């Protein structure tokens, strides 16, 4: 006998009903005792288990389930990144501030530097956070709009240029990922300088609670960590979260460990500027794709 689960959405709450149901093959054997002269009804049991509705808010789900789903995928360790946006079950002030200052299509996107430090051996830790707000009914729609395709012509900001090309796209690759995208980054110009800065990453999207369409988490990690000349780490979290007004926030956290670069102020200015351009491009893309 196996447990099958039925799910119902009830006025915003989530009711999970677990029903014990027999497996089809076993049911036949158990239901009819062919050796008996008198066929008697087999006892049938239906146990209904009603679990408490998941009343957790989207941010709590993010902080409690996000680390679990990304960890279960065994792609990379994102615990440092979740620490930057979650403190236990609650989101950090940096997370809340990024949402509060989310780019909505006017003014300049605000990309905040969360971490910037360099060792005497020129190992630099740089973390950036920012968000956009767009008319998406559910943040889970974000991945379907193929946001990375927007970057193919290049991301340009001032005298910096970054090219991000989708190398492959695999739906439902397993390990909880809804979609796996392999990306090739080519940062050609950094604030007026020509640099050779390429990296290859994998971007996976997860639903922390499969039935909760108010929260989606994407985690990106470096694929060529052992051979990359300049990046020891290039992790990212992209958090889609439902806004109070029915729109959606998409929050981006980038966490880099850069090595072999002495011009770190340039990297900070470049990556901050380019991420601001990313915010603009994506926000425009999402607005253009939204159904009025």
Of residues 188, 213, 280, 289, which one binds other proteins by CB under 8 A?
A: 188
- Residue 225 backbone dihedrals phi, psi, to 5 degrees: -60, -35
Nearer to other proteins, 261 or 285 (CB): 261
CA atoms within 13 A on the CB side of 8: 9
Identify whether the C-beta of residue 78 lies closer than 8 Å to the C-beta of residue 65. Answer: no
Smallest distance from other proteins to CB 156, Å: 12
Smallest distance from other proteins to CB 289, Å: 33
Q: Which residues, numbered 192-251, are part of the site for other proteins (CB under 8 A)?
A: 192-196, 225-226, 232-233
Smallest distance from other proteins to CB 201, Å: 14
Smallest distance from other proteins to CB 274, Å: 16
Q: Which residues, numbered 240-279, are part of the site for other proteins (CB under 8 A)?
A: 257, 259-263
Identify whether the C-beta of residue 156 lies closer than 8 Å to the C-beta of residue 189. Answer: no
Q: Give the total of residues touching other proteins (CB under 8 A).
A: 27
Stretch that binds other proteins, among 46-54, 166-174, 186-194, 283-291 (CB under 8 A): 186-194
Which helix (H) or strand (E) segment holds residue 216: the answer is strand 215-222
Select from 259, 201, 258 the least CA-distant residue to 76.
201
Q: Which residues, numbered 121-180, are part of the site for other proteins (CB under 8 A)?
A: 121-123, 159
Smallest distance from other proteins to CB 100, Å: 29
Positive or negative CA dihedral for 272, 61, 135, 100? Answer: negative
Identify whether the C-beta of residue 63 lies closer than 8 Å to the C-beta of residue 82. Answer: yes
Smallest distance from other proteins to CB 269, Å: 13
Q: Say which residue the tokens 């110009």 belong to.
A: 189
Q: Maximum CA pair distance of the chain?
A: 91
Per-residue contact flags (x/-) with other proteins for residues 67 to 106, judged by CB under 8 A = -------x-xx-xx--------------------------
Give the contacts of 163 (CB within 8 A, at least 6 positions apart): 151, 152, 154, 155, 185, 186, 187, 188
Contact footprint for other proteins (CB under 8 A): 74, 76-77, 79-80, 119, 121-123, 159, 188-189, 192-196, 225-226, 232-233, 257, 259-263
């Amino acid at each position: 006998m196996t447990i099958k689960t039925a799910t119902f959405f009830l006025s915003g709450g989530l009711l999970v009903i677990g029903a014990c149901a027999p497996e089809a093959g076993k049911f036949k054997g158990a239901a009819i005792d062919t050796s008996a002269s008198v066929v008697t009804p087999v006892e049938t049991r239906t146990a209904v288990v009603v679990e408490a509705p998941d009343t957790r808010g989207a941010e709590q789900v993010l902080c409690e389930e996000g680390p679990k789903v990304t960890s279960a995928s065994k792609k990379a360790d994102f615990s440092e990144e979740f620490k930057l946006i979650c403190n236990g079950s609650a989101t950090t002030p940096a997370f809340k501030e990024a949402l509060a200052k989310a780019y909505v299509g006017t003014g300049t996107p605000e990309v905040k530097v969360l971490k910037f430090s360099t060792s005497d051996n020129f190992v630099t830790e740089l973390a950036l956070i920012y968000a956009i707000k767009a008319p998406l009914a559910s943040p889970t729609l974000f991945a379907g709009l193929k946001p990375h395709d927007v970057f193919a012509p290049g991301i340009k900001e001032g005298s910096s240029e970054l090219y991000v090309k989708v190398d492959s796209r695999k739906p439902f690759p397993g390990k909880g990922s809804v979609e796996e995208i392999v990306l090739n980054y080519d940062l050609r110009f950094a604030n007026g300088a020509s640099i050779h800065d390429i990296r290859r990453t994998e971007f996976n999207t997860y639903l922390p609670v499969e039935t909760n369409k108010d929260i989606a988490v994407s985690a990106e990690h470096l694929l060529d960590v052992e051979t990359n000349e300049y990046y020891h780490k290039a992790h990212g979290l992209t958090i889609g979260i439902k806004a109070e007004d029915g729109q959606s926030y998409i929050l981006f956290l980038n966490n880099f460990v850069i090595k072999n670069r002495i011009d770190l102020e340039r990297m900070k200015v470049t990556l901050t500027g380019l991420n601001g351009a990313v915010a603009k491009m994506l926000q425009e893309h999402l607005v253009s794709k939204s159904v009025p």
